[in-house]
Amino acid sequence: MSQQLISRNADLKRLRDEGYKIEVNGGHLFAHHIPYVNSKREIRYGVLISPLTMSGTSTTKPNNHVMIFSGEYPCSKDGIPIEQIKHSTNNTLFGNSIQANFSFSNKPPNGYSDFYEKVKRYAEIVSAPAKSINDAVTEKPFLPIADNEIETRFHYLDTNSSRANIDFINDKLISQKIAIAGLGGTGAYILDLISKTNVREIHIYDGDVFLNHNAFRSPGAATMEELENQASKVDYYQKKYSSMRKGIVSHNYYLHEGNFEELSSFDFVFVCIDDNSVRKTLINYLVTNKVSLIDVGLGVNVIDDKLIGQVRVTSADAQNNNHLDKYIPSGEGVDNDYVTNIQIAELNTLNAVLAVLKWKKMSGFYQDLEQEFHSIYSINNSFLSNEEKSDI
């Protein structure tokens, strides 16, 4: 994607055509081989880094004037730090294993009109002392750079992550193959959230049709035409989210003991089904095959013309699963979380958010001080309880 994106945008193409060694990776623009002088008056080469602002595949005006730098702090030819551009000291690791050390600030009155102007100006400031020592050095070496960016999961750059400089944290999810069993209200919102991560594949399982009631407890807004088509849930959602990303695989059937083996190769399974006997059997299969999982539950009832209830998230991995029999309903009696069939969009969303937060904690994305494997949120008193702490 890197070289194709550069060729489509006049400012990036101009940088490349003039000899800058530039690369686009993970929503950032990297200008390599920028000469500078260190405190020992030695000529070294660093990297200028800027988050990209994009509209689809087109660059827009940079949203800030700050430039990130990988290397020692640049100095004058006498080894004195260039204080005029000093902004902050940081240690940020980017997806291409480049470690950033500093950020600079040099703001024109009207900001930078494009990324060509931004890179050119900072390259001039940083490299001027080096060129005054040796006029043979240049920030425009006309050196090739391999287009070895890992194939993106998305059809356009994730500039949200690059703006926050968390691409290296996102990479903790990049190899995962995820399954969502059931695309009711909660499962659909889980898909919505996970589709915005860079996981390798998302497999969605459901044998039902997308109808009117689903539209009122699902992300987005279905059109009348889409409802009249009576598409399967998995095909409806696969089409919706494939406009943003690759790797969404639909399975238009229910999971049962005869096809559980399909899940044995997954890294993580979200269990969002309303048949408690199937749920229990499925979870036992996942535990036996050491597949990490999260099971969700939503129980809502009408009391005195008001709704009360709880939102449940129960998780397990290969080391922590002895608690499941205690919390996972196994019959179709009063303990069935879904027995009332009251599904409200905000509760489905909350259930999905809590589940995805836990998955990201288990994946090392978020810090997890509690390391709980069972949580209950009570609606009427806003109380969130955490139970079943990690055994390790």
**Spatial contact of 280 and 256, defined as CB atoms under 8 Å apart:** no
In the predicted structure, residue 337 carries a pLDDT above the cut 70: no
Output the CA–CA distances (angstroms, integers) from residue 273 to 35, 172, 253, in the order listed: 59, 27, 13
**Residue range 210-221: mean pLDDT, rounded:** 94
Alpha carbons 338 and 274: distance in angstroms, whole number: 6
Amino acid at 210: F
Alpha carbons 309 and 391: distance in angstroms, whole number: 29
Query: What pLDDT shows up at residue 336?
Result: 47
Alpha carbons 184 and 211: distance in angstroms, whole number: 11
Q: Is 367 left (phi over 0), alpha (psi -120 to 50) or beta?
A: beta
Query: What pLDDT shows up at residue 391?
Result: 62
In the predicted structure, residue 340 carries a pLDDT above the cut 60: no
For 245-280, b/e burial (b = at least 16 CB within 10 A) is bebbebbbeebeeeebeebeebbbbbbbbbbbebbb
Alpha carbons 330 and 342: distance in angstroms, whole number: 20
Domain ranges, ordered by start, for the chain: 2-152, 175-389
Closest CA to 47 of 63, 25, 62, 64: 25
DSSP string, 65-85: -EEEEESSPPB-TTS-B-GGG
Q: What percent of the chain has pLDDT over 70?
A: 95
**Residue range 106-112: mean pLDDT, rounded:** 93
H-only helix segments in the chain: 2-8, 10-17, 115-133, 159-164, 167-170, 185-194, 212-215, 224-229, 233-242, 276-288, 324-327, 345-362
Closest CA to 176 of 268, 292, 272, 96: 268
**Residue range 58-65: mean pLDDT, rounded:** 94
Q: What is the mean pLDDT of the chain?
A: 91
Task: Using pLDDT thresholds of 50, 70 and 90, give the confidence band for residue 343.
Answer: confident
DSSP string, 193-262: HHTTS--SEEEEE---B--HHHHTTSSS---HHHHHHT-BHHHHHHHHHHTTBS-EEEE-S---TTTGGG
**Spatial contact of 359 and 294, defined as CB atoms under 8 Å apart:** yes
* pLDDT 10s digits, 155-180: 887 878 877 778 889 889 999 999 99
Query: What pLDDT shows up at residue 335?
Result: 46
* pLDDT 10s digits, 119-153: 999 999 999 999 999 999 999 999 877 655 556 78
Q: CA 149: distance to chain centroid? A: 17
Task: Using pLDDT thresholds of 50, 70 and 90, give the confidence band for residue 116.
Answer: very high
In this structure, is the dihedral angle defined by the CA atoms of residues 162, 164, 169 and 174, taken in order, positive or negative? negative
Output the CA–CA distances (angstroms, integers) from residue 316 to 117, 295, 323, in the order listed: 51, 9, 8
Alpha carbons 18 and 141: distance in angstroms, whole number: 9
Class of the domain covering 175-389: alpha beta
* pLDDT 10s digits, 242-266: 999 999 999 999 999 999 999 999 9
In this structure, is the dihedral angle defined by the CA atoms of residues 112, 66, 131 and 35, taken in order, positive or negative? negative
DSSP code at position 156? S
Torsion of CA 365, 260, 216, 352, to 10 degrees: -20
Query: What pLDDT shows up at residue 84?
Result: 95
Rg (CA), the chain: 26
* pLDDT 10s digits, 362-380: 999 999 999 999 999 999 9
Instruction: Pull the structure tokens for residue 4.
Output: 């194709």
DSSP code at position 173? G
Lowest average pLDDT, out of 85-99, 170-184, 275-289, goes to 85-99
Sheet with strand 21-25: strands edge to edge: 21-25, 28-37, 43-51, 66-70, 99-105, 86-93
In the predicted structure, residue 276 carries a pLDDT above the cut 70: yes
In the predicted structure, residue 338 carries a pLDDT above the cut 50: no
**Spatial contact of 163 and 76, defined as CB atoms under 8 Å apart:** no
Which residues make beta-bridge pairs with 264?
Answer: none
